């Protein structure tokens, strides 16, 4: 069997704080910028400074998953990028469907950068029959009633939900029934999903409210 160069320490899922995973994404993004600018190695303190974290935090986060650093040297950027992608599961391509081709949905269909990160949007769906069977940014838009058929047939794994709040739970239920196992929900409503489906909610108004609070209270952000 393929002998990995590095062992990925037992992920032991319940044991890794969600916040660590968030930071891993940020490390990855920063490392990819650094690579593009020609940097080949970086220390935990440099990486931390770029993102506003301490060096100890960076090291602790990484050692949750294995030994990626080189004492006296730091981390090799390329190596660490590969390791983090493996940890996040983005060293392969995920198939994604988008539900709700409104303003936000169209924007996400056109968003460059999902592809490079390992996410390929392979289908879109909309309730409105007039939107169906169009092609937006080379992604086919289907009517909702073909959801089950197409999700199953194209082996779609993840969903992005950009339908109105009133329709979001129904759409989520259908997508899950058809086999989707992870959802990013942009509708401003709390979805309930079975335990074996992963869910992240992104509410644009909520993000503004965080800013409103900290400005109103003259807080220092982050």
Q: Taking the complex as a whole, how short is the minimal distance between the CB of residue 172 and its own copies, in angstroms?
A: 12
Token look-up 């940014």 returns: 137
Binding residues for DNA, rule: CB under 7 A, are 17-20, 43-45, 53-57, 59-60, 62-63, 67-75
Complex with DNA: residue 71 or 113, whichever CB lies closer: 71
Piece of the chain touching its own copies by CB under 8 A; list 10-18, 66-74, 126-134, 139-147:
10-18
Site string for its own copies, 122-161 (x = CB under 8 A): -----------------------------------xx-x-
SS (H, E, C) the chain: CCCCCCCCCCCCHHHCCHHHHHHHHHHHHHHHHHHHCCCCEECHHHHHHHHCCCHHHHHHHHHCCCCCCECCCEEEHHHHHHHHHHHHCCCCCEEEEEECCCHHHHHHHCCCCHHHHCEEEEEEEECCCCCCCCEECCEEEEEHHHHHHHHHHCCCCEEEECCCHHHHHHHHHHHHHCCCCEEEECCCCCCCCCCCCEEEECCHHHHHHHHHHHHHCCCCCC
Q: What angle do CA 219, 220, 221 make, to 5 degrees?
A: 110
- Interface residue with its own copies among 9, 21, 56, 73 (CB under 8 A) is 21
Give the footprint of its own copies on residues 53-82 (CB under 8 A).
none
Burial class (CB in 10 A: 0-12, 13-18, 19+), 216: exposed
- Interface residue with its own copies among 31, 77, 81, 106 (CB under 8 A) is 106
Complex with DNA: residue 45 or 90, whichever CB lies closer: 45
Complex with its own copies: residue 10 or 72, whichever CB lies closer: 10
Q: Taking the complex as a whole, how short is the minimal distance between the CB of residue 67 and DNA, in angstroms?
A: 4
Complex with its own copies: residue 72 or 113, whichever CB lies closer: 113
Piece of the chain touching its own copies by CB under 8 A; list 14-22, 67-75, 122-130, 144-152:
14-22
Q: Taking the complex as a whole, how short is the minimal distance between the CB of residue 59 and its own copies, in angstroms?
A: 19
- Binding partner of 143, given its own copies, DNA, none, CB within 5-8 angstroms per partner class: none
Complex with its own copies: residue 76 or 94, whichever CB lies closer: 94
């Amino acid at each position: 069997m393929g002998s990995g160069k590095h062992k990925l320490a037992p992920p032991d899922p319940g044991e890794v704080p969600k916040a660590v995973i968030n930071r891993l994404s940020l490390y990855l993004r920063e490392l990819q910028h650094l690579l593009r600018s020609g940097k080949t190695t970086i220390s935990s303190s440099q990486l931390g400074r770029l993102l506003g974290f301490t060096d100890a935090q960076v090291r602790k986060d990484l050692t949750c998953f294995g030994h990626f650093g080189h004492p006296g040297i730091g981390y090799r950027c390329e190596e660490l990028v590969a390791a983090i992608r493996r940890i996040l599961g983005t060293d392969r391509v995920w198939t994604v469907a988008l539900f709700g081709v409104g303003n936000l949905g169209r924007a996400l269909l056109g968003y460059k950068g999902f592809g490079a990160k390992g996410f390929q949007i392979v289908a879109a769906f909309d309730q409105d029959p007039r939107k169906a069977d169009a092609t937006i940014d080379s992604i086919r838009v289907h009517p909702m009633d073909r959801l089950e058929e197409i999700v199953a047939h194209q082996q779609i794994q993840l969903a992005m939900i950009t339908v109105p709040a009133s329709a979001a739970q129904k759409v989520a239920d259908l997508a899950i029934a058809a086999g989707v196992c992870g959802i990013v929900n942009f509708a401003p409503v709390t979805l309930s999903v079975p335990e074996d489906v992963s869910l992240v909610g992104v509410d644009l108004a909520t993000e503004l409210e965080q800013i409103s609070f900290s400005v109103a209270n003259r807080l220092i952000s982050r």
